[in-house]
Amino acid sequence: MKKVFITGATDGLGFMAAEKLIEKGHQVILHARNNAKGEIVLQKLPNAKAVVIGDLSSISQTYEIAEAVNQLGTMDSVIHNAGVGFQEPYQETEDALPYVFAINSLAPYILTCLINKPKRLIYTSSGMHQQGDAELKDLFWKVKKWNAAQAYSDTKLQNILLAFAISKRWPDVFCNVVSPGWVATKMGGPHAPDDLEKATETQVWLSSSEEKEAKISGNFLYHKRPKSYLLAANDIQLQNRFMDYCESLTNIKLPNG
Q: What is the pLDDT of residue 246?
A: 98
Would you name the residues annotated as active-site residues? 152, 156
Q: Is residue 172 part of a domain?
A: yes
User: Span 178-194, mean pLDDT?
Assistant: 63
Q: What is the pLDDT of residue 255?
A: 95
Q: Is residue 108 part of a domain?
A: yes
Q: Per-residue confidence at 184, pLDDT binned at 50, 70, 90?
A: very low
pLDDT tens for each residue of 12-44: 999 999 999 999 999 999 999 999 999 999 999
User: Span 104-129, mean pLDDT?
Assistant: 98
Q: Is residue 256 part of a domain?
A: no
To 10 degrees, the CA torsion angle through 107, 110, 114, 115?
A: 30
Domain tally for the chain?
Answer: 1
> Which residues, listed in sequence order, are joined to residue 175 by a DSSP beta bridge?
121
| Residue type present at position 221 | L
d(CA 246, CA 109): 7
Q: Is residue 19 part of a domain?
A: yes
Q: Is residue 255 part of a domain?
A: no
Q: Is residue 22 part of a domain?
A: yes
User: What value does the mean pLDDT of the chain take?
Assistant: 94
Query: Mapping DSSP to helix (H, G, I), strand (E, B) and coil, where does residue 182 land?
Result: coil
- 4 vs 79, 125, 179, 227, 249, CA distance in Å? 7, 19, 19, 25, 28
Q: Is residue 171 part of a domain?
A: yes
pLDDT tens for each residue of 43-69: 999 999 999 999 999 999 999 999 999
Q: SS3 helix, strand, coil % of the chain, rounded to 5?
A: 45, 15, 45
pLDDT at 78 over 70: yes
List, as one string, the DSSP characters of 15-71. HHHHHHHHHTT-EEEEEESSHHHHHHHHHH-TT-SEEEE--TT-HHHHHHHHHHHHH
What sign does the CA torsion over 223, 122, 81, 234 have? negative
Domain range enclosing 125:
3-250
DSSP character at residue 103: I
Q: Is residue 257 part of a domain?
A: no
| CATH number, residue 99 | 3.40.50.720
pLDDT at 186 over 80: no
